[in-house]
Chains A and B, each alone.
Chain A
């Protein structure tokens, strides 16, 4: 860190001192090492996440791709989503921010040490996340599956990132904050808030916790988080990067800086409220659903403003797009962003959502965003950055073009069949015969779309091949280049200036209000949460149904197995008030039924049928056989076999603590009940064992399968005891 000031002028000619004041050049350098490291990380985890995704795609097409309990679809899917979102895109964000932010601020990153802690901390979290998810430690909340110790680690590392970023902004040499920086700030603040609120859990042990919220409440918090994770992890940071890297790659200023400002403020204000569109027609109160819908529709304006601003940056430079693979990637990224953000509001129309919800349409929608927008912008940035970091040219433009076309084909082969599959399945679910019966069994709607699942896997394969081509290309680029760890730069120190309004702008004074404002916000939030949560949630105020009782200890253990295997990824537990759903599954879901569900398990896709009214439909032996060999009871099913549930002994060492935790959360188990859990479990397990024995199935009563059957047979039975006219309408 040099800090010479060229003070010769001032020494030689004192009269001129005033004129030159503040224009003295300061010399410093940019840290390229951290950018390179994050670039390697995003590439590495990208390939890992995509390969796991490819495995998941194959598992959807044929159950033979499920290997052992650790690599069945439920767990693989959680690893895939977390790897792609937090490892691939997460490291992509940091790669871009650590390159763009110092250059926009004309200042080195605030602290090299914090950069290193941030980098290694984040990679450690990713490794532990993958391990714990494969092992089945899972909270069942989508994109927030990680257990509480990792949640805390994420929060800490995220704050390290934030301090590093705010520190850089405060010591900047360029007074004006370019629009990209605003997007980075919004990302940091909002993700911190979302993550903390949604990860409020009551720990039972190091690897098990129960959500502080129950049922409908939990669902609302989860999708408030889930939707804003899309908004502030996959969208705002990448928009910030788009506003830096697209103009840089095109060597053209952004189309309209004014639009970028309006785009920014509009986007962040509206996005926060759109979460309930993930819960349309569920047991969530109607007005909350409408609120989410209305805001989602409004979102199209800022989203498209951003897309057009990016695309129109290339006006008069389209000839460059023909020549330059980086711009090709960025154009397709922006176009995908436009498609996904057009589709989002459309899917938020309740009547459209009635068709699309629970189907593969959602999967196609997110993959246009993930593969197109996040993936292609990341590749564009890597192709642009690496030659600069290594002071050379890209090894092969031709290979980059090959990657571009293979990747684009991959996206098309992924998205189109899956859109088709989603539409097909939904129409089949809803079709009745002239006599008024459902036309198709659930299983028929699955086997119908298996060809599309194979095509999707092929599309995913193409996409991965493209990434491997990129890795080869970048490797060769690195081989022919020479890494520049410190990029020297110079800029005048920020001017100490008198302002017309509002007194002095003074760097050391300004530091404190910003820090104060920022930390007080964090403090207010944390304090607020700690005050609010117990006050409001211990006695949940959802309209109660007297017949709904807490789970027995055995059922609770079974439910935790259901969570461990992540069954909610394929089986919903939320029946919407449509004729076909009430016909197929039973009475539609009421808010009061879920008051003891921590976490809620409504699911967001039906690869298998809804299970909310499953209790009592089938004998215990059917469930046993179905778990042991799903194809024996349902020929052609794509469900993996869960044979280890039959082999494993149920771990009951935590049952007492689980019941105690539930009591602390306000579940009305009788006083002292935790002492009786083992007796209670043994009794219920023996009953199930007997019923199985009647059907010639001999199994020990201490096996996991017994608990799982207990839970499945309990589902929806409470409400069945009540005549429909006595149930609340919602």
Chain B
């Protein structure tokens, strides 16, 4: 079952990569605020030119 070593090594590398990403994200204060981000995505940052009327967002019924 030598292949287990390969699979375990690969899985560990991926897992350690995620662990590093996790540490980075905590250090980067990604999780300081666990409420605002969930609200923020609900606001659109798009706008429409009053002149051309582009990006006119209509009332979406759905």
A associates with B: yes
Report if A324-B62 is in contact (Cβ < 8 Å); known contacts: A220-B1, A247-B38, A254-B38: yes
Residues from chain B with a CB closer than 8 A to the CB of A429 are none
The residue of chain A having its C-beta at the shortest distance from the C-beta of B17 within the complex is A521
Verify B59–A491 contact, CB threshold 8 A. no
Within the complex, what minimum Cβ distance (angstroms) separates A285 from chain B?
6
Verify B45–A489 contact, CB threshold 8 A. yes
Verify A491–B34 contact, CB threshold 8 A. no
Q: How many residues of A are counted as interface, with CB atoms below 8 angstroms from the partner's CB atoms?
A: 78
Prevailing SS type, chain A contact patch: helix
Residues from chain A with a CB closer than 8 A to the CB of B13 are 193, 521, 524-525, 528
Within the complex, what minimum Cβ distance (angstroms) separates A717 from chain B?
26
Name A177's contact: one of B15, B30, B33 (CB within 8 Å): B30
Name A257's contact: one of B7, B18, B34 (CB within 8 Å): B34
Report if A217-B61 is in contact (Cβ < 8 Å); known contacts: A257-B37, A517-B20: no
Within the complex, what minimum Cβ distance (angstroms) separates A407 from chain B?
16
Verify B60–A387 contact, CB threshold 8 A. yes
Q: Which of A261-269, A433-441, A652-660, A671-679 contacts B (4 or more CB under 8 A)?
A: A261-269
Verify A387–B3 contact, CB threshold 8 A. no
Report if A261-B34 is in contact (Cβ < 8 Å); known contacts: A224-B7, A393-B59, A525-B10: yes
List CB contacts (< 8 Å) of B7-60 with chain A.
7, 9-11, 13-15, 17-18, 20-22, 25, 27-31, 33-42, 44-49, 54-60
Report if A384-B35 is in contact (Cβ < 8 Å); known contacts: A288-B4, A488-B49, A541-B2: no
Within the complex, what minimum Cβ distance (angstroms) separates B1 from chain A?
6
Residues from chain A with a CB closer than 8 A to the CB of B30 are 176-177
The residue of chain A having its C-beta at the shortest distance from the C-beta of B38 within the complex is A253
Within the complex, what minimum Cβ distance (angstroms) separates A297 from chain B?
18
Verify B2–A537 contact, CB threshold 8 A. yes
Residues from chain B with a CB closer than 8 A to the CB of A175 are 28
Verify B11–A220 contact, CB threshold 8 A. no
Residues from chain B with a CB closer than 8 A to the CB of A393 are 58-62
Name A326's contact: one of B29, B56, B62 (CB within 8 Å): B62
The residue of chain B having its C-beta at the shortest distance from the C-beta of A484 within the complex is B55
Per-residue B-contact encoding for A368-402, CB less than 8 Å = 1, 0 else: 00000000000000011001100111100100100
Q: Which of A182-190, A353-361, A554-562, A603-611 contacts B (4 or more CB under 8 A)?
A: A182-190
Residues from chain B with a CB closer than 8 A to the CB of A515 are none
Verify B31–A502 contact, CB threshold 8 A. no
Within the complex, what minimum Cβ distance (angstroms) separates A715 from chain B?
24
Verify B3–A220 contact, CB threshold 8 A. yes
Q: How far is the CA of A269 from the CA of B38 in the complex (A)?
A: 23
Verify B1–A288 contact, CB threshold 8 A. yes
Residues from chain B with a CB closer than 8 A to the CB of A484 are 54-55
List CB contacts (< 8 Å) of A186-232 with chain B.
186, 189-190, 193, 197, 213, 216-218, 220-221, 224
Residues from chain A with a CB closer than 8 A to the CB of B15 are 269, 272
The answer, yes or no, to whether A99 is at the interface (CB within 8 Å) is no
Residues from chain B with a CB closer than 8 A to the CB of A285 are 1
Within the complex, what minimum Cβ distance (angstroms) separates B18 from chain A?
6
Q: How far is the CA of A246 from the CA of B7 in the complex (A)?
A: 35
Verify B1–A384 contact, CB threshold 8 A. no
Within the complex, what minimum Cβ distance (angstroms) separates A216 from chain B?
7
Residues from chain A with a CB closer than 8 A to the CB of B56 are 391
The residue of chain A having its C-beta at the shortest distance from the C-beta of B8 within the complex is A273
Verify B39–A253 contact, CB threshold 8 A. yes
Q: How far is the CA of A661 from the CA of B14 in the complex (A)?
A: 31
Residues from chain A with a CB closer than 8 A to the CB of B44 are 103, 489
Residues from chain B with a CB closer than 8 A to the CB of A189 are 14, 17-18
Q: How far is the CA of A162 from the CA of B48 in the complex (A)?
A: 31
List CB contacts (< 8 Å) of A55-80 with chain B.
none
Verify B46–A488 contact, CB threshold 8 A. yes
Q: How far is the CA of A221 from the CA of B46 in the complex (A)?
A: 46
Residues from chain B with a CB closer than 8 A to the CB of A524 are 13
Verify A216–B38 contact, CB threshold 8 A. no
Residues from chain A with a CB closer than 8 A to the CB of B36 are 176
Q: How far is the CA of A106 from the CA of B15 in the complex (A)?
A: 29
Name B42's contact: one of A197, A251, A288, A505 (CB within 8 Å): A251
Report if A244-B41 is in contact (Cβ < 8 Å); known contacts: A193-B14, A383-B62, A488-B46: yes
Report if A536-B42 is in contact (Cβ < 8 Å); known contacts: A176-B30, A388-B60, A488-B47: no
Q: How far is the CA of A624 from the CA of B13 in the complex (A)?
A: 50
Q: How far is the CA of A384 from the CA of B60 in the complex (A)?
A: 9
Residues from chain B with a CB closer than 8 A to the CB of A218 are 3
Q: How far is the CA of A175 from the CA of B25 in the complex (A)?
A: 11
Residues from chain A with a CB closer than 8 A to the CB of B55 are 391, 484, 487-488
19 A-B contacts (beta carbon < 8 Å): A30-B46, A176-B36, A182-B21, A186-B18, A216-B1, A217-B1, A247-B42, A258-B34, A265-B22, A272-B15, A273-B11, A383-B62, A400-B62, A484-B54, A488-B54, A505-B28, A536-B2, A540-B2, A541-B2
Q: 10 closest Cβ contacts across the A-B interface?
A: A536-B2, A253-B38, A217-B3, A257-B38, A257-B34, A258-B34, A489-B46, A272-B11, A394-B62, A489-B45
Taking A193-B10, A392-B58 as given, write out 15 further A-B residue pairs in contact, using a Cβ cutoff of 8 Å, ordered by the A residue number.
A176-B40, A179-B37, A186-B18, A190-B14, A197-B7, A254-B38, A265-B22, A272-B14, A393-B62, A488-B47, A489-B47, A525-B10, A528-B9, A529-B6, A540-B2
